[in-house]
Each structure stands twice: as C-alpha cells, then as structure tokens.
Amino acid sequence: MKYFIAIILGSALNFLSLEVAAQIYQYTNEQGRKIYVDRLSQVPPRYRKQLQTRQVVELQNNRQQQREYDLQNSNFAKSITTRNKLAELSELKEQLKTPVNIYANRVIVPVSVKHNGKTQSLNLLLDTGASLTVFHLGSIANFDQQQAQVSYAQVAGGGLIKTWQLSLQQITYGPYKSKSKTVMIIEHKGSANYDGLLGMDLLAAAEYKIDFQQQHIIWNQAAYLQVEEQINSLNLLLQ
C-alpha cells in the first residue's frame, strides 16, 4: 500500500514539475539576441523588466481584443435587431398597400369575406356612389336565400330587383376589418368581372389613395409614408 501511494505521489510530483518546466521566459540580451529559458532564475536581473513589460503588453493586447470582441458582438446583436424591425416594417408596408385591377377607370379591389365559418376571396368594384356594400347572388358560398330577408330595390331604369340582407361574420379589405357586417345581396344580370360593389358604408371608415399608374391602393398614406421613411433609415444603418 505504501509502495502504491509512493507511485501516485511520485507521478503527481512529476506532473507538477512538467507544468513548471512548461513555463518559458524570453528576454533580449545586449547584442539583440533573443534568449529563451525555462526558469526565472536563469534570467539575469537586469533583463527581468523586459518580462514585466511583456506581461503588461500581453495584458493590454488581451483587453483590446476583448473590447473588439465585445464591440463585434454588440454590432451583431444590433444588426439582428435592426433586421427584425425591418422585416416587421416591410410586412406592415405591404398591409397598407393593396394591388388592384383597373379597367377603364374602374377600380376592382380584392376583399376577404367570412360567412358560416367559410372564408373566401372576392373582388368588389370600388363605388363611392353606393351607400351599401353589395354582393352578386351566387358569389358568397353557403348563402341560403330561403333563410334571408327579402326586399326589392329600384334600379336606374326604374325597374325593381330582388335583394336580400346578409350578415357576414367578417369582411377584410386592405388593413381594415369589419365584423358582423350587414351587406346586400342582389340579382345581377349579365356578365361582370367583379362580384359586387364596395360601398361607402366601408369606404367612409377608410383613408385611401388610388395609384392608377402602379395599380394599387395605399391605405392611410400618412402611415405608409412614415413606415417607408423608417425602412429607408434602417437600410442605411445596415450599409
């Protein structure tokens, strides 16, 4: 047992001596020659200031490196934050702009309607002369004429057409949403490249500007321009 402990102790001492021997000291003598030794006692006293200076320089270099790393990490974190904010603003900008189809100055706006749990996309003709939003009969799925209130409306020629009232769960146009919205269903004769009229009952609550050349609607132009300015500023930071 004593022999076993002696072996372990001897191995530990050998390991410690290797660690001590691993320390290398360097100094430059008067002839400009670099001298390397493995013991501090082998360094003449007049050269030991070089060792202290070297340690100070290495410490300063390490601190400078750490500052550079910290700065790089900080810049990287700011870059990620900026890119995330840029993505949010870009998404908001797209919500404030809706592509439309324009035929002979008729603006056809895409909308989303939800009725009886079913959501569908339809196209409505923007009509500031219509007081109510109107859908053509057959355009809205799951609409049951037998369960809806029937009335009649007079058209421009003096004739009467059958109409129904329908309460939609939701209608979405651009960034705007209207829930539990009552609209009118009408019989529409002839062909049309739209599914009804987007009336003033919805348009009055929206701020919009039509870009006929680019064929899109900008909803709330002041907010749109503000978002666009913020995007440009963030892009400059990333350059």
Number of H helices, E strands in the chain: 4, 13
What is the per-residue pLDDT for 57? 52
- pLDDT at residue 213, rounded to an integer: 92
Structural domains in the chain, CATH included, are: 20-58 (no CATH), 98-221 (2.40.70.10)
Residue 52 has a pLDDT of 58
pLDDT at residue 239, rounded to an integer: 77
pLDDT in the model for residue 108: 97
CA atoms lying within 13 Å on the CB side of residue 138 = 6
Residue type, 17: S
Q: What is the pLDDT of residues 21-58, one digit of tens each?
A: 456 777 788 888 887 777 777 878 887 777 655 554 55
At 189 the pLDDT is 77
**In this predicted structure, what is the pLDDT of residue 134?**
95
Phi, psi for residue 77 in degrees, rounded to 5: -65, -40
pLDDT value at residue 184: 93
- Copy the structure tokens of residue 16: 């410690």
pLDDT at 58: 59
In this prediction, the residues of the chain whose per-residue pLDDT falls under 50 are 1-21, 56
Amino acid in the structure at residue 148: A
User: Which positions ≥6 away from 200 have C-beta within 8 Å?
Assistant: 128, 130, 131
Q: What are phi and psi of 29, to 5 degrees?
A: -80, -175
End-to-end CA distance of the chain: 71
> What was the pLDDT predicted at 81?
84
From residue 234, how far is each of 54, 74, 85, 222 by CA, in Å? 44, 17, 8, 19
The CA radius of gyration of the chain, in Å to the nearest whole number, is: 40
Q: What stretch of H or E contains 66?
A: helix 48-95
